[in-house]
Structure 1
């Protein structure tokens, strides 16, 4: 159980990577941009891959009536997400410590994993809703109005995951280092649960 508890603590600590590495990345490539434009999405805000990327993306989006990319303090998610992640890290550490001391069952490990999974699904749903609003809620005063074949306004929602062609832009949306660290951390907590279950089954403390 002590080995399982140690792995539980290590898995929880992996989530701290979200404070230093981007969670997601969106890249936009086009013939007029030899170097693709990109933005990294962190749990606390959005940053351009290069110095002027966000400015250039906003400039392009202005012509078709899209909103500007939110800055610090303009989205409640960027205020809440860091606190949620930190809370889960601390909770995971305490569960691991009390498990190490024999005060908690290994079942708490899977409980932490399930809570983190629910929070992750909620976060992805919220991210997708933001992308939908960002690409669909266009200004009626846009300089350029592009419509579908049936005459309905074209939407410019970037893909949540993967590749999509948007006009003359190739848009790719993929998880970044922070997401992979979170995935590894959560996987380690599953390993901790399995080891804890096996120790309990074999009567090992």
Structure 2
């Protein structure tokens, strides 16, 4: 179980990358913008890929009635998510240490993975709800009011994942480095589970 415990600890600590690297990235490209505009979404807030990207995106959004990019104080998620990640890292390290010293079952490694998966799904669901609200809850007094062919107001919701054409903009939405670190860390906890399971079986067979 010692090896499994070490792997579990490393996997959990990889989540700390979320405090340094973006969780998600959204890029907007158009003929009038040779250098695409971009947003890096962190668990603590949203930053422009380049210095003036947020300012330029807000300027574009003003014409079609979209709200400005939210600041940290505008969204509870930017206060809650860092705390949740910190708790999960601490919990994973504690479970790993207890596994290392043989104080608990390897099944706890899988339990941490399941809990983290549930939290991740809830986070993505919340993120998608924000994108829907951001792209559809438009100012009725906007300078430009564009409609679909059926007369309904056009939605400017960016894709949750992948590429989408919006007016003359090419919009790409993909995981950032932080998301890949989460994935790698979670996969390591699964590896820890199987390593621990194998170690227990060998111990039983040898007894």
What is aligned with 1:36? 36
Structure 1: runs of 5 or more not aligned: none
Q: Counterparts of 2:71 and 2:52 in 1: how far apart (Å)? A: 14
Q: Counterparts of 1:184 and 1:73 in 2: how far apart (Å)? A: 30
Residue 203 of structure 1: how far off its partner (Å)? 1.4
Secondary structure of 1:203's match?
helix
Q: Residues 96-149 of structure 1: CA distance to partner in whole angstroms, max 9, x if unpaired?
A: 001111101000000000000000000000000000000000010010000000
- How many residues align? The count is 205
Q: Counterparts of 1:141 and 1:57 in 2: how far apart (Å)? A: 19
What is aligned with 1:135? 135
Q: Counterparts of 1:203 and 1:125 in 2: how far apart (Å)? A: 42
Q: Residues 14-67 of structure 1: CA distance to partner in whole angstroms, max 9, x if unpaired?
A: 000000000000000000000000000000000000111000000000000001
What is aligned with 2:77? 77
What is aligned with 1:114? 114
Secondary structure of 1:145's match?
coil
What is aligned with 1:23? 23
What is aligned with 1:191? 191
Q: Counterparts of 1:101 and 1:73 in 2: how far apart (Å)? A: 42
Q: Structure 1-normalised TM-score?
A: 0.99
What is aligned with 1:123? 123
What is aligned with 1:169? 169
Q: Counterparts of 1:30 and 1:169 in 2: how far apart (Å)? A: 5
Runs of 4+ in structure 1 deviating by more than 6 angstroms, as ranges, are none
Secondary structure of 1:73's match?
helix
